[in-house]
């Protein structure tokens, strides 16, 4: 039927019912009812956020694994699907180089060279490494082909099989990579990037600093090597000096010269989690004892 032209029947023309077309229509209606939950005793096999994919990896893709769309498979070449449309070719995520690719979650087990279903948007069960039971978000661990927990950004976790450790979790998945449902992109926003060798780097947006009543623009920081600790706006102010150097972004312990804008922590898997402090202006008020106070 994939080459049928499906012309409309007109008044007065001869019409012979087709059993093949009738059955295909019935299957289409049953699938539609399953999606709407209208068939008692039957659950939906797919939803609006689930698509058909082709396993071109040569390996079995298990349910809950994070998959990468790395091309298109023209299913019309072998006639495996009635509609003959191209479908995404997928494989398991296995490298930080996959960070820029479209992602999906395997909805079911998919054997090599076979078609299956994958979730591109919506709630999905996936393998996840929960490093801290207080974490309520999950990010993609590209090298592991799974999710890892995060403190305050990523895919919201709806349910975890275990409070902590490796297991299955249900998260609200959005295709595209980072998984942030709320993405802060204002002053001093910190985000993870990758260099040409695939090494993780941090990018910090520009912002402003108010130092002893003087306003300064703070330049953005690019390709910053991540480490555990606090990212701060540093103002090197000497109370004995009338000049104020331009503030900069550095890793440091918060104090009178270092205004914290984010906390970076390393997980057990070697990845980095970012806890953003939403600050538009870093304020410094550095004073020295008033000479009159000594009398």
Q: Write the DSSP assignment of 229-242 as a string of letters.
A: EEEEEE----TT-S
pLDDT top residue among 9 and 64: 64
Structure tokens at 221: 């920081």
66/138 Cα distance (integer angstroms): 12
Q: Which pLDDT does position 248 carry in this prediction?
A: 94
At 8, is the pLDDT very low, low, confident or very high (cuts 50, 70, 90)? Answer: low
- pTM: predicted TM-score of the whole model, two decimal places: 0.44
pLDDT top residue among 5 and 254: 254
Give the closest residue to 129 by CA, choosing from 111, 148, 146: 148
- Residue 35 above 50 pLDDT? no
- Among 41-50, 79-88, 152-161, name the one with the lowest average pLDDT: 41-50
Q: Which pLDDT does position 2 carry in this prediction?
A: 42
Are the beta carbons of 179 and 93 closer than 8 angstroms?
Answer: no
Residue 228: what are its φ and ψ, rounded to 5°?
-70, 135
Asked if the 47-181 domain carries CATH number 2.40.300, the reply is: yes
Residues 6+ apart with CB under 8 A from 16: none
At 111, is the pLDDT very low, low, confident or very high (cuts 50, 70, 90)? Answer: very high
Are the beta carbons of 281 and 208 closer than 8 angstroms?
Answer: yes
- The rounded mean pLDDT for the chain is 75
Structure tokens at 284: 């410094």
At 4, is the pLDDT very low, low, confident or very high (cuts 50, 70, 90)? Answer: very low
- Among 109-118, 178-187, 247-256, 285-294, name the one with the lowest average pLDDT: 178-187
The DSSP symbol for 110 reads B
Report, as an integer, the average pLDDT of 107-126.
Answer: 84
CB hemisphere CA count around 167 (13 angstroms): 14
- Residue 3 above 80 pLDDT? no
Structure tokens at 120: 């591109």
Cross-sheet strand order for the sheet of 221-224: 190-194, 200-204, 221-224
102/120 Cα distance (integer angstroms): 9
Structure tokens at 239: 């109370």
81/53 Cα distance (integer angstroms): 11
222/239 Cα distance (integer angstroms): 30
List every span in the chain annotated with CATH 2.40.300.
47-181
């Amino acid at each position: 039927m994939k080459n049928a032209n499906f012309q409309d029947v007109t008044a007065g023309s001869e019409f012979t019912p087709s059993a093949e077309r009738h059955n295909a229509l019935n299957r289409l209606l049953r699938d539609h009812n399953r999606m709407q939950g209208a068939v008692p005793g039957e659950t939906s096999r797919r939803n609006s956020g689930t698509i058909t994919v082709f396993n071109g990896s040569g390996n079995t893709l298990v349910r809950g694994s994070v998959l990468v769309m790395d091309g298109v498979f023209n299913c019309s070449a072998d006639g495996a699907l009635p509609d003959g449309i191209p479908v995404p070719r997928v494989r398991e995520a296995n490298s930080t180089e996959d960070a820029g690719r479209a992602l999906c979650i395997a909805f079911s087990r998919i054997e090599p060279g076979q078609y299956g279903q994958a979730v591109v948007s919506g709630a999905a069960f996936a393998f996840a490494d929960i490093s801290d039971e207080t974490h309520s978000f999950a990010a993609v661990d590209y090298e592991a082909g799974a999710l890892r927990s995060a403190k305050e950004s990523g895919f919201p976790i709806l349910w975890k099989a275990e409070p902590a450790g490796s297991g299955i979790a249900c998260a609200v998945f959005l295709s595209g990579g980072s998984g942030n449902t709320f993405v802060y992109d204002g002053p001093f926003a910190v985000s993870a990037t990758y260099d040409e060798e695939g090494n993780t780097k941090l990018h910090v947006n520009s912002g402003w600093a108010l130092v002893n009543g003087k306003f300064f623009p703070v330049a953005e920081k690019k390709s910053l090597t991540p480490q555990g600790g606090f990212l701060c706006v540093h103002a090197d102010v000497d109370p004995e000096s009338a000049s104020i150097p331009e503030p900069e972004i550095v890793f440091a312990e918060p104090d009178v010269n270092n205004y914290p804008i984010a906390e970076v922590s390393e997980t057990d898997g070697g990845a980095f989690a970012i806890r953003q402090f939403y600050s538009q202006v870093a304020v410094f008020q550095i004073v020295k004892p008033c000479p009159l106070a000594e009398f």
